[in-house]
Amino acid sequence: MKQGNKRKKHTPILWTAGILSLVLLAAAIYLYRLIFAPFLPEETVFIYIDEEKDYEEVVGQLDEKAGLPSEKIFRLLAERMHYPNNVKSGRYAIDPGMTMPDVIRLLRSGNQAAVKLTFNNIRTSEDLAGRLAQQLMVDSLTLLQSLRDPLVAENYGFSPENFVAMFIPNTYEVYWSTNVEGLLMRMKKEYERFWNDSRRKKAGKLNLTPEEVSTLASIVEEEATYTDEYPIVAGLYLNRLKRGMRLEADPTVKFSVGDFSLRRILYSHLEVESPYNTYKRAGLPPGPIRIPSIAAIEATLSPGQHDYLFMCAKDDLSGRHNFAVTHAEHARNAARYQRALNQRGIF
């Protein structure tokens, strides 16, 4: 009888222990699934962490863009994994299927996703600084100050006037958090890679430095709307340089005046005093009037072989040009163009 009572007393304890074990197991399974629950964005999203963002802003950005499976669990994991005091700047890719530990390890490691940095069709250093700052963490004003700093330019082998020639328009993979110094070093490296022995030899045959090629190419690109005219225009200006003639390039006047929208160059514009005004100054300007494209640089390095010395926009205002060997022929072309402007009321 006493032995039977002992069994009865132990039974509720065993049941309670069993139920408690099941509850703990269920809780453990639930917690495990929650911890390793995948982020479920429809596609890869990017988290941007600049130097001013703190841990709280990172958590908010993660929840907003990627959807945290559990903010509470994320915070607990982040604490255990020592992330809150180890926030690193950068651009990070959160892929579908990543778990909270995966994301914390990624952010903590600073393993960024590269940005495809692209810039083209850039005229001024202000335009360049703005375009780059749109794609990187760098501050546009800080970058612009570096671009205009004579000591910085000299450090990279340029003058303030031709420093922008170091930027070859293309697409480059860089880290979003790259600072100004890192960006300039990368662009210098790409510049040296672009100006290989072959291109430098071509420039030498034209009696031009790479920087002078970029300057001439910038005028070519501003002058010609269509790329098939680039080699013709380049050859024309090189012919004028060889003969000691002033380039008399309208785009340099627009640059001197500070207005690229001018559709008609007046005599008053030609009188502007500027080292860039090739109607008044012989030779090339001190630097590019825009950042020339690779196509314009290549065309300048391989110019058309002809005897043209003059060019004038066609009177159909198509953006194409009539080219001439003699001034008399050029005068006739110019007269037709001036009549076309007058008829359309362009003054």
CATH number of the domain at 98, please.
3.30.1490.480
- Please give the torsion angle defined by the CA atoms of residues 127, 129, 130 and 135, in that order, rounded to the nearest 10 degrees: 130
Residues 214 and 294 in one domain: yes
Q: 118: helix, coil or strand?
A: strand
- The 10 Å Cβ neighbour count of residue 285 is 24
Specify if 143 maps to a domain. yes
Output DSSP code: residue 107: H
Query: What whole-number distance in Å separates Cα of residue 27 and Cα of residue 161?
Result: 68
Residues 212 and 302 in one domain: yes
Question: Would you give the end-to-end CA distance of the chain in angstroms?
Answer: 121
Output DSSP code: residue 288: -
pLDDT (tens, 9 = 90+) of the chain, 347 residues, equals: 455 555 555 566 554 555 544 444 444 444 445 555 666 667 899 999 998 899 999 999 999 998 888 889 899 999 999 999 999 999 999 998 888 899 999 999 999 999 999 999 999 999 999 999 999 999 999 999 999 999 999 999 999 999 999 999 999 999 999 999 999 999 999 999 999 999 999 999 999 999 999 999 999 999 999 999 999 999 999 999 999 999 999 999 999 999 888 888 888 999 999 999 999 999 999 999 999 999 999 999 999 999 999 999 999 999 999 999 999 999 999 999 999 988 888 87
User: What is residue 97's predicted lDDT score, i.e. its pLDDT?
Assistant: 84
Query: What whole-number distance in Å separates Cα of residue 180 and Cα of residue 316?
Result: 46
Query: What whole-number distance in Å separates Cα of residue 332 and Cα of residue 59?
Result: 70
User: What is residue 28's predicted lDDT score, i.e. its pLDDT?
Assistant: 44
User: What is residue 36's predicted lDDT score, i.e. its pLDDT?
Assistant: 55
Specify if 231 maps to a domain. yes
Specify if 4 maps to a domain. no
Q: What H or E segment, with its residue span, contains residue 253?
A: helix 250-257
- The 10 Å Cβ neighbour count of residue 195 is 20
Residue 140 φ/ψ region, left for φ over 0, alpha for ψ in the -120 to 50 degree band, beta for the rest: alpha
Question: The tokens of 147 are what?
Answer: 């671009």
Contact 276, 285 (CB under 8 A): yes
Specify if 297 maps to a domain. yes
Domain count, the chain: 3
Residue 127 φ/ψ region, left for φ over 0, alpha for ψ in the -120 to 50 degree band, beta for the rest: alpha
Amino acid at 185: M
Contact 95, 44 (CB under 8 A): yes
Q: 236: helix, coil or strand?
A: helix
Question: The tokens of 281 are what?
Answer: 């100054």
Residues 87 and 141 in one domain: no
Specify if 214 maps to a domain. yes
Residues 138 and 225 in one domain: no
Residues 101 and 122 in one domain: no
Examine the fold and report which residue of 56, 76, 109 is the final residue of a domain before the chain moves on: 109
Residues 261 and 235 in one domain: yes
Residues 119 and 88 in one domain: no
Question: The tokens of 328 are what?
Answer: 């008399």
Contact 218, 128 (CB under 8 A): no
Specify if 255 maps to a domain. yes
Examine the fold and report which residue of 194, 220, 251 is the final residue of a domain before the chain moves on: 194
Examine the fold and report which residue of 160, 194, 228 is the final residue of a domain before the chain moves on: 194
Q: Residue 83 belongs to what domain range?
A: 45-109
Specify if 17 maps to a domain. no
Specify if 234 maps to a domain. yes
Q: Which residues contact 330 (CB under 8 A, 6 or more apart)?
A: 309, 310, 311, 312, 324
